[in-house]
Structure 1
Amino acid sequence: MLSNLFALHLNARDYMLPCMNKKIFGFDCPGCGMQRAVHLLFQGDFVGAFKMYPAIYPIMLLLIFLISTFFVKIKYAPQIKLILMLLAAGTIIISYVIKMSTIIN
């Protein structure tokens, strides 16, 4: 069982979805790099994952929070969820603008 899981992990790069925005228009979308960042996280390369897609950590915090709210009642859950969503969206937008400005220049 564990060896099958390990084999699936090793071959995960073969099954990554291509970015249709990049194929059609020729430039990255705001989500480009997320799959590779998750793959790097599974390999234990936390710095590489951040360099690949800086929004990976705010998104993971949001997902962990959303999953935990199924099991634990949190008093200010809607406010925390809004803050985490804004943090993730802000990180996505800022990193995309920085990436595109370095490509243009």
Structure 2
Amino acid sequence: MLPCLNKKIFGFDCPGCGFQRSAVMVSKGEFKEAFEMFPAIYTTITFVLAVIFHFLVKKKITSKILIILAILNVSVIIIAYVLKMNKLIN
């Protein structure tokens, strides 16, 4: 796995920390553990699949759907990160 440069340099997790391990867990069928590791894993997978579908398949997904999925994904990442940092501080 690639190391987190943010954690190496600054000493604390970045918003994306846990994504690689979570993706491996999903591939192994460890769905609950994957969510606990990185709560945005499922919104990220959904967004990536939608983007791939949009570019590879002739039937285009509307840009509104992609924007909604992107906003949802970023929101989950930020909320999970804030909760994680708050838990570490308290």
3-state DSSP of counterpart to 2:20: helix
1:90 aligns with 2:82: no
Candidates 71, 87, 90, aligned match of 1:102: 87
Indicate yes or no: 2:64 matched with 1:71.
Answer: no
Deviation at 1:72, TM superposition (A): 3.9
Structure 1 residue aligned with 2:6:
21
Structure 1 runs (4+) deviating above 2 angstroms are none
* Structure ID, larger Rg: 1
Alignment of 1:24-63 (within 5 A): 24-63=9-48
Unmatched 5+ stretches in structure 1: 1-15
TM-score, L = length of structure 2: 0.94
CA distance in 1, matches of 2:40, 2:58: 25
What is the alpha-carbon distance in structure 2 between the residues aligned to residue 57 and residue 47 of structure 1? 11
Counterpart code for 1:26: G
Taking the aligned partners of 2:27 and 2:11, their CA distance within structure 1 comes to 29
TM-score using structure 1 length: 0.81
* Aligned-residue offset at 1:54: 0.5
Q: Distance in 1 between matches of 2:77 and 2:58?
A: 28
Query: Looking at both structures, which has the greater relative contact order when contacts are Cα pairs under 8 Å and sequence separation is at least 6?
Result: 2
Between the two proteins, the alignment pairs up a number of residues equal to 89
Please list every run of 5 or more consecutive structure 2 residues that lacks an aligned counterpart in the other structure. Answer: none
Partner of 1:3: none
